[in-house]
Structure 1
């Protein structure tokens, strides 16, 4: 992992932590009874969970496409090598 990736990961974790802390503080300070605070807490947890799931699904899709492209490139290279060998 290079330095830029390392700092990007630190930045992503820090912003996530700051957002969660801000959300918790805002729910605690929210005027209203415990039922309203509980509702917003559950919605916040669901939003975080859905965001993590979506980011993982997108990453998996990109990695899958990258793997398929590598396989296609390998097949093309093999066909070209076979073609070159048959000409000799």
Structure 2
């Protein structure tokens, strides 16, 4: 067993900055691409709405996945604590 089996992982500031910059570049590139496409205004509007919906649903999906992962960690910690309590209370030499 490792010393810290359920140690929380934390992203570094550099990783957070890289992720934010990458998101900003990708989002800006999509918006600029939509604006400069040779399309009618309603076609650009459709692409813009689809892009915004994609971004918002991506954030929602990431939050749901994170919440499920955290919930499973809490359940496993509770189960481990119950097992440790049972083992600590168990006396193999106790006569029933």
**What TM-score comes out, normalization by structure 1 length?**
0.88
- 1:21 matched to 2:31? The reply is no
Task: Give 5+ residue unaligned stretches, structure 2.
Answer: 1-8
Q: 1 or 2, which has the higher helix percentage?
A: 1
After superposition, the CA RMSD in angstroms is 2.1
After superposition, residues 55-66 of structure 1 pair within 5 angstroms as 55-66=62-73
The count of residues paired between Structure 1 and Structure 2 equals 86
The CA deviation at 1:49 is 0.7
In structure 2, distance between residues paired with 1:7 and 1:37: 35
TM-score, normalised relative to structure 2: 0.81
- Runs of 4+ in structure 1 over 3 Å off: 84-87
> Partners in 1 of 2:91 and 2:22 — Cα distance?
54
Question: What is the deviation of 1:84?
Answer: 4.2
